[in-house]
Amino acid sequence: MSTSTATSPLLGRPGAVEGEGPDAGVAAHYGDPAREQRLLAEGLAAVDLSHRGVVTVSGPDRLSWLHSMTTQHLLGLGPRQSRESLVLSPKGHVEHALHLVDDGSTTWVTVEPGTAPALVTWLESMRFMLRVEVADVTAEWAVLGEPVGAESVEGEALAWVDPWPSLVGDTAAYGPVDGHPGIGRVWRELVVPRQSLEAALGDRPLAGTWAAEALRVAAWRPRLGFETDHRTIAHEVDWLRTAVHLHKGCYRGQETIARVHNLGRPPRRVVFLHLDGSGHVLPDAGAPVVRDGREVGRLTSVARHFEDGPVALAVIKRSVPEDADLLAGGVSAAQTVVVRG
């Protein structure tokens, strides 16, 4: 996945330390990551996500067009209603994760840093004779994350509300339903003019991406480019629950979605790990996960949670037992299992 090239004006705040890799261009933290995480968990802080891409799709055919090409049911989406949808390869591998909200005349889409140009190029190639216009407006519009679960109302900034971990529409879960660790987490992305980023923040304290990522990991929430690679299918990271409608008709990659769902046997699964925190250094994302001397997967996201300590997500072979002892990057790792509903 490409990295971000935009630099946020909020990096000028006291104590700001810039993130790396996909999260370059915004602050990883502002000097006190644990405190920032507590404030975010309490609903008091906001997160600068202005490195995310912003794409608009306008025109009377926009929703039916996006509906026909992506995994989620988008017909009849009302003003200020949110959806999550995926763009798949012809073989069903996840290529883009779309956070969509419509304002009544334009569908606004936020995407992972650096991925907007590729998405726009693909969308343009699929326009044909339809009444749609596609634009990458990342240079003019920015994203601000906040721990709020409500759709925006008239007079507020447009907001995409994260549905995780609810089951959205006609879909299925490949992880727990009752007792899911993500229940209770609320999150949305405000789309604001880039020059108004400071004003949209107001007098709220800022939390960095480290804080937001720790809460995401604790909620078992997949992220494109982190829990995914070039061969990921949505079932492996439990993405069907929020982003895939199982009976909406054909779209690119739909055969893989249906076939694997009907067989019920994706080759890999995402797991949540508690890492041994006795050492000073945690393993990096991408480090191997090993069982009995054999590599069975890879760490995908690693974080320090303000209550749970070192935690991680990993994608491992489906055949690995849920009670297996694992090593992640040489560190002892215990799987956390919630009984599936």
pLDDT digits (tens, 9 = 90+) for 253-312: 999 999 999 998 899 999 999 999 877 788 999 999 999 999 999 999 999 999 999 999
**Topology classification of domain 9-259:** Gyrase A; domain 2 (3.30.1360)
Residues 246-273 as b/e (b if ≥16 CB within 10 A, e otherwise) read bebeebbbbebbeebbeeeebebbbbbb
Predicted pLDDT at 278 = 77
Which class would CATH give 267-336?
mainly beta
- The domain spans of the chain are 9-259, 267-336
Query: Rounded distance, CA 232 to CA 241, Å?
Result: 16
Q: From the DSSP assignment, how many helices (H) and strands (E) are in the chain?
A: 7, 18
**Tokens coding 56:** 């608009």
**Percent of the chain scored above 90 by pLDDT?**
91
Band of the pLDDT at 98, cuts 50, 70, 90?
very high
DSSP for 263-296, written as a single string: HT--SEEEEEEEEP-SSS-PPPTTPEEEETTEEE
- Report the candidate in 64, 56, 46 with the shortest Cα–Cα distance to residue 148: 46
Average pLDDT of 219-224? 98
